[in-house]
Amino acid sequence: MEPEARIGSTDFPPDEVLVARLRDGDEAAFVLLVDTWSGGMGRLARSFVATNESAAEVVQDTWLAVIRGIDSFEGRASLKTWIYRILVNTAKRRGVREGRTVPMSSLLPTDEDYGPTVDPARFLEAGHEWAGHWREFPAAWPSPESAAVSGEIHAQVADAVAALPDRQRIVITLRDVEGYTSDEVREILDISAANQRVLLHRARASVRARLETYFASVDAEHVGGEAVP
């Protein structure tokens, strides 16, 4: 499956061009990066620190570290991955100062990340001829075109992500919101692909469940509206 195009990823200069321009002090290049990446960086930083203000400062501190460190960038990872690693380290140090630690160990799946991600009551019980099969089919959703990814859908999804445990939120933010591959996330967070999948799967199932509830409520309203003219 083709990942969603990231903002600016199509006409974006390649890393070696960007790095050369940053080293030359090219302001336009710096502004382009800051404007394109700061939003996603803030979202990720927010998972490690206590407040939005604190996350904004982490983003600023990260860019300052990028300015100071660009000469030492060796191109072993992509520029964005390198910057995200600086961000995660900066955010973690700050999170520790604020007493809101997300130590590496808590990014690993825990017992509660295993087990069914869909309510077992949705499936027929043991002993039934069709045990383990859907009791009722999941209701169809409006087609992506007709739903037109409205602001309300975005709000529901953002809210569902915010409610996830830190470790799940961090992984789904990087993988699905920012569009990183599992290799890139391993480079940024040092979590194996298998462990990422455990967290990602549970997080996606939670967000899907939120959308399911939302579409069902919209549907009920709609039907109700028609029944009572």
12 binds another protein (CB under 8 A): no
- CB nearer another protein, residue 37 or residue 82: 37
Query: How far, in Å, CA of 202 to CA of 198, rounded?
Result: 6
**Site size for another protein, by CB under 8 A?**
58
The answer to whether residue 117 forms part of the interface with another protein (CB under 8 A) is yes
3-state secondary structure of 60: helix
Check the CA dihedral 62-67-73-79 and report its sign: positive
- Least separation in angstroms between CB 103 and another protein: 25
| DSSP per-residue letters across 1-51 | -PPPPPTT-SSPPPHHHHHHHHHTT-HHHHHHHHHHHHHHHHHHHTTTSSS
Going by the DSSP 8-state scheme, the letter that residue 113 receives in this structure is G
Q: How far is the CB of 91 from another protein (least distance, A)?
A: 15
The neighbouring-strand residues paired with 123 are 134
DSSP 120: G
Four-CA torsion 182, 185, 191, 194, nearest 10 degrees: -10
Q: Does 59 bind another protein (CB under 8 A)?
A: yes
68 binds another protein (CB under 8 A): yes
Contact between 79 and another protein per CB under 8 A? no
User: How many whole angstroms separate alpha carbon 110 and alpha carbon 164?
Assistant: 14
In angstroms, give the least distance from the CB of 228 to another protein: 30
Our CB check for another protein shows the closer of 44 and 88 to be 44
For the bound state, the minimum distance from the C-beta of residue 65 to another protein, rounded and expressed in Å, comes to 11
8 is an interface residue for another protein by CB under 8 A: no
Which H or E run includes 57? helix 52-69
Q: Per rule CB under 8 A, is residue 204 in the interface with another protein?
A: yes
Q: Is residue 183 at the binding interface for another protein, with CB under 8 A as the rule?
A: no
Residue 142 · residue 215 · CB < 8 Å: yes
User: Can you tell me whether residue 130 is helix, strand or coil?
Assistant: coil
Residues lying near another protein in the complex (CB under 8 A): 1, 3-4, 7, 25, 27, 30-31, 34-35, 38-40, 42-43, 56, 59-60, 63-64, 67-68, 116-118, 120, 123, 131-134, 137-138, 140-141, 144, 149, 153-154, 157-158, 161, 172, 176-177, 179, 182, 193-194, 197, 200-201, 204-205, 207-208, 211-212
